[in-house]
Amino acid sequence: MLLDTYGRVATDLRVSLTDRCNLRCTYCMPEEGLQWLGKSDLLTDEEIVRLIRIAVTQLGITEVRFTGGEPLLRPGLVGIVEQCAALEPRPKMSLTTNGIGLKRTAQALKAAGLDRVNVSLDTLRPEVFKTLTRRDRHKDVIEGMAAAREAGLTPVKVNAVLMPGLNEDEAPDLLAWAVENEYELRFIEQMPLDAQHGWKRDGMITAGDILESLRTRFTLTEEGADERGSAPAERWVVDGGPATVGVIASVTRPFCGACDRTRLTADGQIRTCLFATEESDLRSALRSGAPDEEIARLWKVAMWGKKAGSGLDDPSFLQPDRPMSAIGG
């Protein structure tokens, strides 16, 4: 069991498979990209599967989310999913992706055992997409989402970040489109995880702003804390249902008290929080021949030290050195 000193138990593992990405989203990294991890620094497919096996069979993990960077860039992804699907007990498995490669891989991922996908899409306007991501791939994302839905990787969840002066007016249009296509929409407040460290609280689009915009076109009924559980998104029923919309308000409505996540970076570091400034090294233990029991012990020690909250409201808050692309968001 991955227990911390505040009584929280981590059952949800986020696994970053690579720090690389084929987009250059303005809220994540600079146009020229970043200095990527070297191949020898990355966990191998076998090391990733071993750590997931330890987490599932010894530490109580019941859900695994594959992330990046862009996880579809990982050559061994389908094999990793297939091996994890064979674990006993079998974890629920999902993937967070920018969607560009989904049209090509959705069927294979479903056959391997993946349960569903989250796709990042911030705009319905191709020209705004190009500005936000610095790539002209909007059509590929739309087609990838449709392929995921057709392959049965459902519910397909859509993650959208609203940015001032770019897409802040699109919340109602995004929701109408998601309802029409049977996607589950989640708005995410922009977080201080950009590589440029250019994030500013002033001027960001908040959960309150998003809900105010949505209510100009839709009737929203809050589901409530009992339905939410440990999920990061607060959810509202749209026009009486069955569709829902969620808002992940990490900045203005933090949900740290119910957090049940532990994170593994692509180079084998344990992170207790997206905003943590410390990491715990499992890769060295793996490569020095440590047995499963020792790796499990190190993981427990790391999670025992998890802080009460993200610290975003502390005047001394500092962004982590690692950007979102390297953490496994």
Query: Residues within the annotated binding site for [4Fe-4S] cluster?
Result: 21, 25, 28, 256, 259, 273
How far is the C-alpha of 233 from the C-alpha of 187, rounded, in Å? 8
Binding-site residue set: 14, 21, 25, 27-28, 65, 69, 96, 120, 157, 191, 256, 259, 261-263, 273
3-state SS, one letter per residue, for 101-115: CHHHHHHHHHHHCCC
How far is the C-alpha of 319 from the C-alpha of 327, rounded, in Å? 13
Residue 10 CA: distances (Å) to CA of 26, 59, 74, 99, 260: 31, 9, 26, 28, 4
**228 Rama class: left (phi>0) / alpha (psi -120 to 50) / beta:** alpha
Alpha helices in the chain (DSSP H): 45-58, 77-85, 102-112, 126-133, 138-151, 171-180, 207-214, 225-228, 283-287, 292-304, 324-327
Binding-site residue set for S-adenosyl-L-methionine: 27, 69, 120, 191
Residue 6 burial (CB count, 10 A): 12
Binding-site residue set for GTP: 14, 65, 96, 157, 261-263
How far is the C-alpha of 20 from the C-alpha of 73, rounded, in Å? 7
